[in-house]
């Protein structure tokens, strides 16, 4: 089972879901703002993937943060991501015991390769 965490209106998440469905893979979508238990998930994701991989510093949300809030990325990254879920790079995919961030070619190959 593939679990894809993202936002309903995220084009990258929509594309990933479409490709996963087309590959015939069993999956579920979890909206990180409305449905995900970020208090439990984010510390686990930060530990496994690292804050630099998980934190979207190119987002509008990041640019809108004060310097003080941006410094939380180093001091308390999980707290920052929990408070601002749109800072999480998307999608976050749990599949085959692995954690994948984003939907670039390497992630696409690893996730869709589960169909083989």
Whether the CB-CB separation of 41 and 85 falls below 8 Å is answered with: no
The answer to whether 13 is a known catalytic residue is no
3-class secondary-structure state, position 66: coil
Q: Which residue has the tokens 């589960």?
A: 114
Please give the structure tokens belonging to residue 57. 């510093």
Of 4, 8, 10, 95, the catalytic one is: 10
Distance CA 53, CA 45 (A): 10
Please list the active-site residues.
10
């Amino acid at each position: 089972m593939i679990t894809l965490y993202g936002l309903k209106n995220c084009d990258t998440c929509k594309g990933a879901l479409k490709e996963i469905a087309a590959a015939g893979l069993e999956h579920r979508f979890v909206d990180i703002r409305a449905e995900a238990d970020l208090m439990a998930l984010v510390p686990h994701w930060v530990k496994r993937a690292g804050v630099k991989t998980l934190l979207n510093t190119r987002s509008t949300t990041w640019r809108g943060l004060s310097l003080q809030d941006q410094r939380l990325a180093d001091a308390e990254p999980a707290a920052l991501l929990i408070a601002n879920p749109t800072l999480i790079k998307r999608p976050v995919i749990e599949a085959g015991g692995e954690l994948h961030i984003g939907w670039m070619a390497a992630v696409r190959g690893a996730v869709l390769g589960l169909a083989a």
